[in-house]
């Protein structure tokens, strides 16, 4: 087992069983238990998605946790926000067995703090160190299985939170694509309870999950798009495997992540936290309402940690991650879907300031050296932010230049009030990098 291959920036992911298996999961449970016992109480919530490999991996991590003296609160199967929600209710760390939107041959683990937000890099690194050094503790733990009452309360809270932030009833025909993942028995039911006419793509499938990879990217949602058009539906909604991402199809187009973020901002109001790659449209819109947007590095742990620290009303990223913190400071695709279903989307879209956003990636040999060179070449007066890479003015455009977290690439996002200007800024930034 090579932990450096599966311990990623924000979670643990690898091919099953080649890169992580039941032995890995048991050792991981022991390593995590040391961290938990040294920093928190001796309870922990454990949940899983519905992949077949998740069943055995969950059983094995539970064995590691209990053999180290922890009481495991086994909440069964569900989305990651369910694990975070129950962890907060029990004031303890929570674990989700999932690899989220990765191909089905992968699996992994996510850890959340008692407040509900995901582990930061520093604490995940401490767990990794315990794993590598086989630094374990012995103890006699136990398992408490949680029944259906907890899930019902979770669903009720999702519904009431959505109703407080959008309409109490949903008079729409909605097509739902859960990928056959962990929201398949939650999202369609709640939409139906709110009054929607639900067309669930999973009803036509025999195997669950049925989408590989279970990732709600527009290019993977042809079936959702086609079904919306065939049924003359008002809206199409999709979530990923563990229910922390959302995608919406409306009026013949997929909404961008920035558009969904701005719609949620209008519905919730208040201060917010956004990753630095978020469109200026959100800040423009929220400032008009007297609210502040705090920015962080790209990545869920940074966004949600800041959301907790600043006690904001909502937070997210334009990749489909959104959180309404009164429910839980963790991304909830289910809650986002319910809120989108209960609002006049066109009315909200009309309120969003227009910006053209152009994106590109450049392959490089040494991304950190390239970023250092970019910083040296830029006029200091043009630099807007260095929270994650560099965001700077290029003429009338603002361009974010940042290193990829997973490959030797530089990612560029250019934004301006029209497409030609945004594209011109993108080209200037590329020239700077290519020097």
Give me the mean pLDDT over the 369-393 stretch: 95
Integer CA distances (angstroms), 50 to 6, 71, 80, 182, in order: 21, 23, 11, 6
- What gap in Å lies between CA 64 and CA 127, rounded to an integer? 13
Residue 356 has pLDDT above 80, yes or no: yes
pLDDT of residue 242: 98
**What is the band of 405 on the pLDDT scale with cuts at 50, 70, 90?**
confident
Angle in degrees, CA 312, 313, 319, rounded to 5? 95
pLDDT of residue 218: 97
Residue 80 has pLDDT above 90, yes or no: yes
Q: Are strands 235-239 and 246-250 parallel, antiparallel or unpaired?
A: antiparallel
Distance of alpha carbon 10 from its chain centroid, rounded?
A: 11
- What gap in Å lies between CA 278 and CA 287, rounded to an integer? 15
Residue 2 has pLDDT above 80, yes or no: no
Give me the mean pLDDT over the 406-412 stretch: 90
pTM comes to: 0.96
Strand partners of residue 398:
393, 415
- φ/ψ of residue 312, rounded to 5: -85, 170
Q: Which residues contact 103 (CB under 8 A, 6 or more apart)?
A: 212, 213
Name the token pair of 54.
Answer: 């998740």
On whether the CB atoms of residues 72 and 142 are closer than 8 A, the answer is yes
**What is the band of 309 on the pLDDT scale with cuts at 50, 70, 90?**
very high
Give me the mean pLDDT over the 204-233 stretch: 97
Residue 406 has pLDDT above 80, yes or no: no
Q: Which residues contact 309 (CB under 8 A, 6 or more apart)?
A: none
If we measure between CA atoms, which residue out of 28, 36, 159 comes closest to residue 91? 36
Q: What is the pLDDT of residues 6-30, one digit of tens each?
A: 998 889 999 999 999 999 999 999 9
Share of the chain above pLDDT 70, in %: 100
Share of the chain above pLDDT 90, in %: 95
- What gap in Å lies between CA 284 and CA 423, rounded to an integer? 21
Q: Are strands 12-15 and 106-112 parallel, antiparallel or unpaired?
A: antiparallel
């Amino acid at each position: 087992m090579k932990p450096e291959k599966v311990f990623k920036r924000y979670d643990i992911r690898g091919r099953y069983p080649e890169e992580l298996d039941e032995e890995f999961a048991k050792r991981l449970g022991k390593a995590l238990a040391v961290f938990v016992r040294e920093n928190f109480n001796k309870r922990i919530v454990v949940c899983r998605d519905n992949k077949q490999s998740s069943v055995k991996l969950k059983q094995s991590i539970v064995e590691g946790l209990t053999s180290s003296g922890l009481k495991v609160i086994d909440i069964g199967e569900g989305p990651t926000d369910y694990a975070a929600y129950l962890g907060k209710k029990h004031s303890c760390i929570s674990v989700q067995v999932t690899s989220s939107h990765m191909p089905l041959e992968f699996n992994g683990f996510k850890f959340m703090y008692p407040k509900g937000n995901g582990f930061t890099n520093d604490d995940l690194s401490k767990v990794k160190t315990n794993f590598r050094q086989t630094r374990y503790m012995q103890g006699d733990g136990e398992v408490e299985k949680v029944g259906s009452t907890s899930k019902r309360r979770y669903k009720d809270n999702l519904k009431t939170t959505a109703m407080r932030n959008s309409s109490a009833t949903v008079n729409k025909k909605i097509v739902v694509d859960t990928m056959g993942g962990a929201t398949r028995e939650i999202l369609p039911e709640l939409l139906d309870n709110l009054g929607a006419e639900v067309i669930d793509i999973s009803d036509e499938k025999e195997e669950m999950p049925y989408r590989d990879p279970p990732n709600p990217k527009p290019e993977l949602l042809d079936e959702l798009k086609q079904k919306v058009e065939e049924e003359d539906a008002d809206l199409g909604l999709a979530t990923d495997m563990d229910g922390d991402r959302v995608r919406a199809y409306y009026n013949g187009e997929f909404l961008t992540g920035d558009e969904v973020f701005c719609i949620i901002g209008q519905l919730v109001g208040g201060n917010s936290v956004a990753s630095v790659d978020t469109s200026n449209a959100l800040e423009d819109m929220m400032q008009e309402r007297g609210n502040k947007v705090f920015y962080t590095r790209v990545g869920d742990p940074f966004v949600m940690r800041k959301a907790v620290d600043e006690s904001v009303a909502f937070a997210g990223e334009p990749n489909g991650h959104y959180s309404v913190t009164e429910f839980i400071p963790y991304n909830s695709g289910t809650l986002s879907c319910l809120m989108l279903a209960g609002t006049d989307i066109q009315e909200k879209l009309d309120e969003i300031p227009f910006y053209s956003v152009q994106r590109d990636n450049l392959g490089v040999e040494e991304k950190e050296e390239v970023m250092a060179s970019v910083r040296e070449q830029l006029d200091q007066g043009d630099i807007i932010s260095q929270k994650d890479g560099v965001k700077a003015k290029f003429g009338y455009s603002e361009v974010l230049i940042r290193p990829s977290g997973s490959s030797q690439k530089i990612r560029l996002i250019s934004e301006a009030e029209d497409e030609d200007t945004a594209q011109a800024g993108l080209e200037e930034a590329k020239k700077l990098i290519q020097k």
